[in-house]
Amino acid sequence: MERASDILRIISARKAAGEPFALATVVRTVAATAAKAGAKAVILPDGTISEGWIGGGCARAAVLKAAKDALADGQSRLVSVQPPDLLDQQGHASGEEQGGVRFAKNMCPSQGTMDIFVEPVLPRSQIIICGSSPVAVAVADFAKRAGFSVTSCAPADEQAAFGEIDRRIEGYALSVDEPGARYIVISTQGRGDEAALLAALAVDAEYIAFVGSRKKAEALKSSLAGRGISEERLARLKAPAGLDLGAITPEEIAISILAEIVAVQRRKDSRDKAVVA
């Protein structure tokens, strides 16, 4: 069995690596139970318990189901595993949810009660900024304040334009597959426009936007189409970037872009919750 310090170290390492998981913690026990209050387990998206222990099969199925749901919609759950007669006395059925508690039946001989809090730990959504224009720098600043993970993609001699951010990529070599949602903003001001767009359109992202006029964006899309980029990929590009707020200054444009990203993010959250429900 893992010691508490080992579990905390593993949790910290997984969070730092941006790996999604659910953390299950026994918060209350009544009568005889295998696990006691404070016991923890790290549950992976495939349903396996990678570290820790929260008892045997009495609670496992209900907790794994709650972990899967929590990772799908980002919402925590409290699971109360109780013996059948106690559930009947309270008028609850196994699988029922009431007042934020999901009830499950304990069929083990111990006939104890366990309450387990299941919390999803998901990677922070990432805003990737291609280019080092004043708009790009302003987007990085506002995104950091809004709680996003911020990555700058720009030539080495342009990276100094950014202050403290989470990650820097020299050039525009974006990873094809990364955990968590990605929102990409291209603000290259004519310095590497096509290279940045090619990199952005080659990866999966919730949002890809180009800072520039609609006319310039159409010219770039036409050029990219001639280089073999499909219409489906090109249709993902939002140009000009941001909500139409009448923005003029770099800071105002950055606010309009961040507002649009938040709107896209919240719509996605709503769709995910509807699917799980």
What pLDDT does 2 receive? 52
| Alpha-carbon distances of 226 from 6, 194, 203, 215, 229, rounded to whole Å | 55, 12, 19, 17, 7
| Alpha-carbon distances of 191 from 136, 153, 188, 209, 229, rounded to whole Å | 13, 12, 5, 16, 20
- Determine if the pTM surpasses 0.85: no
Contact 26, 36 (CB under 8 A): yes
Contacts of 268 (CB under 8 A, 6+ apart): 181, 206
What is the total residue count of the chain?
A: 277
Contacts of 263 (CB under 8 A, 6+ apart): 243
- CATH 3.40.50.720 domain residues, the chain: 126-257
> Which numeric CATH code is attached to 126-257?
3.40.50.720
In angstroms, the first-to-last Cα distance of the chain is 35
What pLDDT does 5 receive? 66
Would you call the peptide bond into 45 cis, given omega within 30 degrees of 0 as the criterion? no
pLDDT in tens for each of the 277 residues of the chain?
Answer: 456 667 888 888 888 777 889 999 999 988 767 778 888 999 998 888 888 888 777 778 889 999 999 988 888 999 999 888 888 888 888 888 888 899 988 877 677 888 999 999 988 899 999 999 999 999 999 999 999 999 999 999 999 999 999 999 999 989 877 777 899 999 999 889 999 999 999 999 999 999 999 999 999 999 999 999 999 999 999 999 999 999 999 999 999 999 999 999 988 766 665 544 4
